[in-house]
Structure 1
Amino acid sequence: MPFITNKTTQEHVDIHYKDYGNGQPVILIHGWPLSHQAWEGQISAIVAAGYRCIAYDRRGFGISSAPWDSFDYSTLASDLNTLITDLKLEKAVLVGFSMGGGEVIRYLTDFGTDKIDKIALIASIIPLVKKKEDNPEGVPEDGLNAIMDALQTDRVGFLKDFHKNFYNFDDNKGDRISTAQLDYDFTIASFASPRATLQTARAWANTDFRSELKNVTVPALIVHGDSDNIVPIETSGNQAAKGIKNNTYKVLKNAPHGLNVTHRKELNTILLDFLKQ
């Protein structure tokens, strides 16, 4: 199993990754609280289209190292930078799903665009999740606090219900998602580090990326579902599209947060068209 080791942080952290295909590198950064396995529906399509596809497990998730601390976005971006540096990648495309969009933007802020050709933000938290006076459509703080409390009192119980909302399962009566997929996601999420699950939740809930949108100077794709119950489109996709100059914005009708599964074909078509441009 391939790993890269980030030795720049206080603790040396081993990051597990999968590396398939040849051609221009496309790096997939998964959402919370899953692993690189969440990209199953995209990896094969990207490789078949002639690209090199690299998907990795965020620290604390999958089979990457699980340190006790250091889950802020600059540290997470340093893991990504180590991957890019160690694999000697050039003209890479960064694709961030949900909280993975934060690594994308923070990477551009901390390390620039010399090795980056394009970015894609899929159902991303960018630029801000939390409701504030100047972000009235965000998630109320008491709702975010309830998530943090649940992760500390009944983490697996919370995760069991979380994924139903992830896919709007009750609304679509399972037409686009199977109960087996819910079970699969729950297994991945429940085996993640409890500490990492909590600390990364605090990172995506509290980090404001609005001032960093100016650092996106490469072409950007933004894809969001208009029925996203986890990351409301008004506080994410709509704002990201306004704040990033050179972007292509695609809104998927009736798509939930987990649109990479429920709207796999639509997303793959959009993503591959963007890669070919």
Structure 2
Amino acid sequence: MPYIETRDGTELYVKEWGDGRPVILIHGWPLSADSWDPVALALAESGFRAISYDRRGFGRSDQPFDGYDYDTLSDDLADVMDAMEADEDASLVGFSMGGGEVARYMSRHQGKGVVSTALVGSIVPFMLKTGDNPDGLPREQFDEMIDGIMQDKPAFFATFFKQFFGVGMLSSPVSQEVLDWAWGIANQSGLKPAVACVDAFGETDFRGDLSSFGVPTLVIHGTGDAIVPVQIARNAAANIAGAQLIEYDGAPHGLFVPERDRLIDDLLTFLGATHAGAPTTGAFQQV
């Protein structure tokens, strides 16, 4: 079943590897399900059923003009879970923008069928700097992203991914081939979806969704993240009951490449400890 149809008729590309308890992997902006491949493979080889999908507007999925708000995106997640019969004893893992789908699903869909969640480099709870959210980023930064995409999308993504993966003047935690791979995936996105999703992850306030988690939750974030400040993750962990926080010292936003093995180990440990909703006490220490 490479494609499923959502409630508004949008077709989403879905990948399913392995058997066992379902783990749904939600990718970040502006990538696709392929960014989860090493994690999905490790999950499948460890007895889980790894399900990942391309968000509407990205990768191999349809590119409708509308539907890039988080209510619709969380409905898409619910539709993927339903179509794949993965809405029982499931875990949700969201990277970056994908953390928003996790949070909104937990509130809008009452966390149906979910026994644990993980937020990796996530934009939850709130990215926009406001009077009551001093840890966010100014609106001007999101406007600059949109202007860059509108003026020269390929050039914008070429620069963006250097920051995304922590590439500096003298060192790089990833190869040029990884940068080229990410650039290629990003340019599969539609112009409207790419821009609309900047508004969505930049302005959506998930603080009201946090009380709906109600399941064991793991928060992972790099302290060297130049896209989503680590304080965002600290705020999420502080306001999700019982959440466990792991900080990767110096890791960039795209930590799933340079910190791949550690990420896989931490997720497998967490998912194993929360099998069928088992308690996680003592599994991790908050840092």
After superposition, residues 166-185 of structure 1 pair within 5 angstroms as 166-170=164-168, 173-174=171-172, 176-185=173-182
Q: Secondary structure, in 3 states, of the residue corresponding to 1:260?
A: coil
Q: Secondary structure, in 3 states, of the residue corresponding to 1:4?
A: strand
Query: Partner residue of 1:217?
Result: 214
From 185, 191, 198, the equivalent of 1:201 is 198
Query: Partner residue of 1:4?
Result: 4
Q: Distance in 1 between matches of 2:264 and 2:84?
A: 25
Judge which range, 236-245 or 106-115, deviates more. Answer: 106-115
Judge which range, 149-158 or 261-270, deviates more. Answer: 149-158
Q: How far off its partner does 1:145 sit?
A: 1.1
Q: Distance in 1 between matches of 2:210 and 2:132?
A: 16
Are 2:115 and 1:107 equivalent residues in the alignment?
A: no
Q: Distance in 2 between matches of 1:104 and 1:206?
A: 16
Q: How far off its partner does 1:152 sit?
A: 1.4
**Counterpart code for 2:136:** G
From 226, 242, 267, the equivalent of 1:246 is 242
- Equivalent pair of 2:4/2:12 in contact (CA under 8 Å): yes
Q: How far off its partner does 1:212 sit?
A: 1.0
Judge which range, 223-232 or 132-141, deviates more. Answer: 132-141
Judge which range, 255-264 or 147-156, deviates more. Answer: 147-156
Q: How far off its partner does 1:118 sit?
A: 0.5
Query: Partner residue of 1:260?
Result: 256
Q: Distance in 1 between matches of 2:233 and 2:170?
A: 22
**Counterpart code for 1:161:** T
TM-score (norm 1): 0.96
Q: How far off its partner does 1:135 sit?
A: 1.5
Query: Partner residue of 1:131?
Result: 129
- Equivalent pair of 2:106/2:112 in contact (CA under 8 Å): no
Query: Partner residue of 2:21?
Result: 24
Q: Distance in 2 between matches of 1:186 and 1:219?
A: 34
**Counterpart code for 1:5:** E
Count matched residues.
272
- 1:226/1:172 Cα in 2 relative to 1: closer, same or farther (>3 Å)? farther
Give 4+ residue runs of structure 1 displaced > 4 Å after superposition. Answer: none
Q: Distance in 2 between matches of 1:88 and 1:232?
A: 35
Structure 2 segments unaligned to the other structure (5+ residues): 274-287
RMSD, matched Cα: 1.1
**Counterpart code for 1:134:** D
From 80, 83, 88, the equivalent of 1:86 is 83
Q: Secondary structure, in 3 states, of the residue corresponding to 2:226?
A: coil
Query: Partner residue of 2:276?
Result: none
Kindly provide the CA deviation profile for residues 137-195 of structure 1, in whole angstroms up to 9, marking residues without a partner as x.
21111111111111211121111100000011116712x20000000000000121111
**Counterpart code for 1:266:** R
From 145, 148, 160, the equivalent of 1:147 is 145
Q: Distance in 2 between matches of 1:98 and 1:34?
A: 10
**Counterpart code for 1:258:** G
Are 2:56 and 1:59 equivalent residues in the alignment?
A: yes
Structure 1 segments unaligned to the other structure (5+ residues): none
Judge which range, 135-144 or 183-192, deviates more. Answer: 135-144
Q: Distance in 2 between matches of 1:99 and 1:18?
A: 19
Query: Partner residue of 1:95?
Result: 93
Identity %: 39
From 267, 270, 277, the equivalent of 1:274 is 270
